[in-house]
């Protein structure tokens, strides 16, 4: 699931910061998400409880429960996986054609769903049997 073929290469994120690739993961949407040292450090520094699930990143990206666009920035994709009564969200940005993990945090609902800023026709991927209506 983890592809190490580009490990050590660098890319610029949306803020212009240089990122060093650790690995990439193929997703159900047909593109790869790049995981960098810098973005993982951001998760460890700012989202410590989510960082405890960093080992799950490849599985979440490859087998999410649901993927939705961010209603504020449709080219940003939010990957969600359920853990009991909470959702773990991985936020994927795109810059210069490369998609990368921007951050990861816990959530109680799917962004935009409760306020109807996104509707089911906006969903990019839904795992079979996932009961998305309870996460409004």
Supply the DSSP string of 2-18, one letter for each residue.
Answer: -B-TTTT-EEE-TTS-E
Pairing of strands 32-36, 66-69: unpaired
Residue range 86-91: mean pLDDT, rounded? 97
Q: Residue 37: inside a domain, yes or no?
A: yes
With CA atoms as reference, report the closest residue to 25 among 62, 75, 54, 56.
62
pTM to 2 decimals? 0.96
Number of domains in the chain: 1
Q: Residue 45: inside a domain, yes or no?
A: yes
Sequence-distant (≥ 6) Cβ neighbours of residue 4 within 8 angstroms: 23
pLDDT at 1 over 90: no
Q: Residue 1: inside a domain, yes or no?
A: no
Residue range 74-97: mean pLDDT, rounded? 96
Residue range 53-61: mean pLDDT, rounded? 97
Strand ranges for the chain from DSSP E: 10-12, 18-26, 32-36, 66-69, 77-83, 86-95, 98-107, 125-126
Full domain range(s) for residue 129: 10-135
Q: Residue 2: inside a domain, yes or no?
A: no
Q: Residue 3: inside a domain, yes or no?
A: no
Secondary structure (3-state) at 118: coil
């Amino acid at each position: 699931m983890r592809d190490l073929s580009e490990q050590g290469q660098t890319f610029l994120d949306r803020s212009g910061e240089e990122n060093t690739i650790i690995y990439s993961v193929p997703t159900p949407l047909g593109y790869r998400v790049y995981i960098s040292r810098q973005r993982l450090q951001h998760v460890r520094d700012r989202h410590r409880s989510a960082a405890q699930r960093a080992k799950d990143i490849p599985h979440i990206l490859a087998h999410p429960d649901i993927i939705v666009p961010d209603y504020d920035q449709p080219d940003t994709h939010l990957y969600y996986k359920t853990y009991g009564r909470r959702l773990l969200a991985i936020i994927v940005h795109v810059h210069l054609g490369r998609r990368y993990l921007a951050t990861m945090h816990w959530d109680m609902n799917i962004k935009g769903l409760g306020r109807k800023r996104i509707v089911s026709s906006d969903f990019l991927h839904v795992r079979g049997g996932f009961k998305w209506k309870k996460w409004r």
